[in-house]
A = this chain, B = another copy of it.
Amino acid sequence: MALPDDERARPADAVTANLDADGKELMLDRLLDYLAQPSVSATGEGFPAATHRAVREMKLAGLETRVIDTPGRPAVFGHRAGPAGTPTVLIYGHYDVQPAGPLALWHTEPFVPVIREGRIWGRGTGDNKGQHFAHLQALRLLLETDGGYPCCVKFILDGEEELGSPHLAALVTDNAGLLAADVVIWSDGPVHASGRWCVVHGVRGALAVRLTCRGASRPLHSGNFGNVVANPAWTLVSALASMRDKAGRVVIEGFYDDVPPVPAADEAAYAEMPLDLARVLADAGVAEMDPAHGELDYYHRLGAIPTLTINGIETGDLKRTIIPNEATARLDVRLVSGQDPARVLAAIETHIAKVAPDAEVTAEMGMPASRTPLDNQFTPLLAGAIAAVTGEPPLLVPALGGTLPDYVWTSILGAASLGLPMANIDEANHGPNENLEVDRYLTGIAISMSVLRALAAQPAGAPS
C-alpha cells in the first residue's frame, strides 16, 4: 500500500484508536496544522488555498478526490470503495469557517490554533474542521492499519455551509449518482447539553420572511400629519398581533397543517433525554418557559411543533416625534418534517393579504426539515459503535431545534441521514474563542472508526 506523503511514524494501537501519547500528539498536530489554514467563505480569506488543503487531507485519508465547482466556493468530494457488498456511507462536513469576528475578544489568534486546558482553541475547531477531520483521521488510521476501509466511503466537504449552503441542493441534485449512499453521517454542532454523545435524526426546516408596511414618502412630523396620514407602524403591529391568539397559538390559517403527530419512537426518545430545565432557563435569563405553549414540555416545544418568531422590527430611530414612513418586521419559522416551506409561506401571504392588503411579504429563505425515523436500520449500529467506545449508549435525538440543509440527503438523495455531533456544548462556534475539547476530538476519531466498522455489517443498498 502506498502511504501518502506523511513521514511521521504511525501511532501504536491505531486500529482501535487506543492511541498512545505519540499517536495522540500526531492527531493533534495534524489538526492544528489544518486549522491554521483560514477558510472564511464570507470574505474569501484563505481561498483557494483552503480548497487545495481540503483536497490534500482527503487524499491523505486515502480518498480519490475531486473539486466540485459551484457558483460560489467549491465543494470537495472523495470516495473509496470498501469490500464488495458493504454499504456506502457518505460523510458530510464543511471546510469553510465563520469570520473570526472581533479580534479583541479572542484570547488567542483565531488562525494560530493552540492547546490549553484540555481544549483546542481557534476558528473552526468545533465548527467544523475538528469534527470532519476526526472522520478523515479515522479513515487514515483504518487505511494505515488495515490497508483499506471496512465499507464504501464517500466524503463531501461543503465550502459554503457558513453562508447557508446556497448551492448545495443544486449540487446534490446534479450529482445524485455520484453522491448516492445508504446512509449519510454528518458531525456538526455540540453533543447533548448533558455531555452525552448522541445520534441526531434530523433537523427542523426554516423559512424567513420580511413584512414591510409603507406609508408616506418620508417620515412626517407627528403634530402636523398625525391623524391625517396613516402610520405604517400601526399597520405592522396590527398585522403581526393578528398572527397569534391570546394564548400565543399561531392563528394563521393552515400554519399547523401538515404537522404530524409525534411518532411513538420520538415520544420515547423525548422521554429518555435528560433535561436540566433550570439550567436552560438560567442560561437564558428567564424565570419560566414561554407561557404560550403551556401544554408542551421542553422537547416537544423544540421538536413537535413549528415556531413563529419575530426576529426584529425596524422603523428608523426612536429619537424623533415622527410618523415613520416604513415599518418592517422579519420573522422566521422553524418547520417540522412534513411542512412545505412554500405552503407555509403561502399561508402567511394569504393571512397578510387579509389583514394588511398593502403590506409586502418577501421570502428570504426556505428550507424543509429533515427526518430520519428513529427506527431506521442504521441507528442501532451507530449506537452500538458509540457505546463500544464510550461505554455508554448515546442519546437518540429526534429532529429538533435549529436548521441545517440536511434535507438534501433525506429528500433529494433519499438516504437516511444521521448526525453524530462531537463538539462540547460550549464550543463557542461562530463566536470568539471557539474551541473543541481534546478528548472529544480523540474520542471522535475512535467513534468514527468504530462506526465505519459497524456499518460494514449492514448489507449494501445504494450503488457505490
Q: A residues near B, CB below 8 A? A: 204, 206, 208, 210, 215-218, 220-231, 233-234, 236-238, 240-242, 244, 248, 280-281, 284-286, 289-293, 296, 298, 301-302, 305, 307, 309-318, 320-325, 327-330, 332, 334, 401-403
Contact = CB atoms under 8 A, between A and B. Distances in A.
Contacts of A310: 231, 233-234, 237, 315, 324
B330 A280 contact: no
Nearest to A217: B285
Contact of A332 (B286, B298, B321, B330): B321
A290 B229 contact: yes
Contact of A223 (B228, B293, B402): B402
24 contacts: A204-B223, A206-B223, A208-B321, A216-B284, A217-B286, A222-B309, A222-B311, A226-B309, A227-B302, A228-B280, A228-B298, A228-B302, A229-B284, A231-B290, A233-B310, A234-B310, A237-B240, A238-B244, A310-B315, A311-B318, A311-B321, A312-B322, A314-B315, A318-B329
Contacts of A329: 233, 318
A309 B323 contact: yes
Q: How many copies does the complex hold?
A: 2
A289 B328 CA distance: 22
A400 to B, nearest CB: 9
Contacts of A302: 224, 226-228
Given A313-B315, A330-B318, A401 B223 contact: yes
Contacts of A284: 216-218, 220, 225, 228-229
Contacts of A230: 286, 289-292
A313 B233 contact: yes
Contacts of A240: 234, 237, 241
A401 B305 contact: no
A206 B286 CA distance: 36
A286 B238 contact: no
Contacts of A317: 312, 314
Contact of A305 (B227, B233, B241, B312): B227
A296 B143 CA distance: 84
Contact of A226 (B218, B321, B334): B334
A311 B307 contact: no
B293 A312 contact: no
Closest 7 CB pairs between A and B?
A: A217-B285, A223-B402, A226-B307, A241-B241, A233-B310, A227-B301, A230-B290
A353 to B, nearest CB: 16
Nearest to A233: B310
B222 A234 contact: no
Contacts of A208: 321
Nearest to A365: B321
B312 A233 contact: yes
Contacts of A215: 286
Contacts of A293: 227
Interface centre among A233, A305, A318, A320, by most chain B C-beta atoms within 10 angstroms, is A318
B314 A224 contact: no
A283 to B, nearest CB: 8
Contacts of A226: 301-302, 307, 309, 334
A216 B280 contact: no
Contacts of A286: 215-217, 229-230
B311 A320 contact: yes
Nearest to A289: B228
B321 A309 contact: yes
Contacts of A241: 237-238, 240-242
